[in-house]
Amino acid sequence: MWPDTIENVKTIIGDLTARASRRGRKLRFGYRVHVVVRETEAAARAAADRLLSRLDAGTGDQIRQRSLDHQSTGVRRQAELRESSSGDGYIEDNLWTGIGRARSGCGAAIVGDPDQVLRKLNAYRELGIEAFILSGYPHIDECDLFARYVLPHLNHGPLKL
């Protein structure tokens, strides 16, 4: 699933688990989200703000409208989250909807210091999320930061190069 609040992810997992169970099936869940991790929360928030510092609303709308999925249920939910977020784009602690101003699809990021990012990922894991697709901008830089600050503290499968 795409980014959503902890409470809504809990509701979705509960609903889908119950539906599957009634049919004798068991589901596994994954979560797709961007990440902005820095040594401090202030630095992470500043990095997130810089990502969109030169984007105007009209250009963002054009980008989203050109996407093939711009009318999907998932994209509509990302827009709802963005529209209901606080003035700084945060829908809840460390979940920033600003990414969705510049792209369609997965429109939010976990933003924070290493402990906050780890805590957020673990909160989703406690709800039943088993797999994550994580990304960031610029990709290689954010991968390096995540590998340095967060990955050593996560139980994960073997990494193969």
Which residues, other chains included, contact 6 with Cβ-Cβ below 8 Å and sequence gap of 6+?
A: 92, 123, 124, 127
CA–CA separation, 119 vs 113, rounded Å? 10
Q: Count the neighbouring beta carbons within 10 Å of the beta carbon of residue 114.
A: 20
CA–CA separation, 146 vs 132, rounded Å? 13
Q: Count the neighbouring beta carbons within 10 Å of the beta carbon of residue 85.
A: 18
Which helix H or strand E contains 112, and what residues bound it?
strand 109-112
Q: pLDDT digits over 96-149, tens only?
A: 988 877 666 678 899 999 999 999 999 999 999 999 999 999 999 999 999 999
Highest-pLDDT range among 47-61, 95-109, 142-156:
142-156
What pLDDT, on a 0 to 100 scale, did the predictor assign at position 71? 66
Question: What's the whole-model pTM score?
Answer: 0.86
Q: How confident is the model at residue 68 (pLDDT cuts 50, 70, 90)?
A: very low
Token output for 84: 């209901």
